Amino acid sequence: MPLENAISRWRENLADDYALQATGKTEAFASAFTRLANQNLGEINPEKWVVYLFYSHPPLGQRIQKAKEYVP
């Protein structure tokens, strides 16, 4: 299961990169994930071992940070 989750997280990272590149809407991207976190639908910064074992998507905090640091 951890290997499958790692592959899924990698693919989701690629999808996030594509979305940011295609739209350039970094604020909307970050805002969407911030809203999810505020609605308690996901933890912002979970422990690394929890991500490794159980997460099939990157943590919300990592995705929000990616959007904030994105430079077209």
71 within 8 A of 22, measured Cβ to Cβ = no
* Domain count along the chain: 1
For residue 57, the surrounding DSSP H or E stretch is none
* Per-residue pLDDT at 12: 97
Q: Which phi and psi (to 5°) does residue 47 adopt? A: -60, 145
Query: In this predicted structure, what is the pLDDT of residue 45?
Result: 94
The Cα 16–Cα 30 span in angstroms is 11
Up-side HSE of residue 58: CA atoms within 13 Å toward CB? Answer: 17
56 pLDDT tier (thresholds 50, 70, 90): very high
Q: What is the pLDDT of residues 11-55, one digit of tens each?
A: 999 999 999 999 999 999 999 999 989 997 778 999 999 999 999
Residue 32 to residues 10, 26, 35, 53, Cα–Cα distance (Å): 20, 10, 5, 25
| Structural domain for 6, as ranges | 2-69
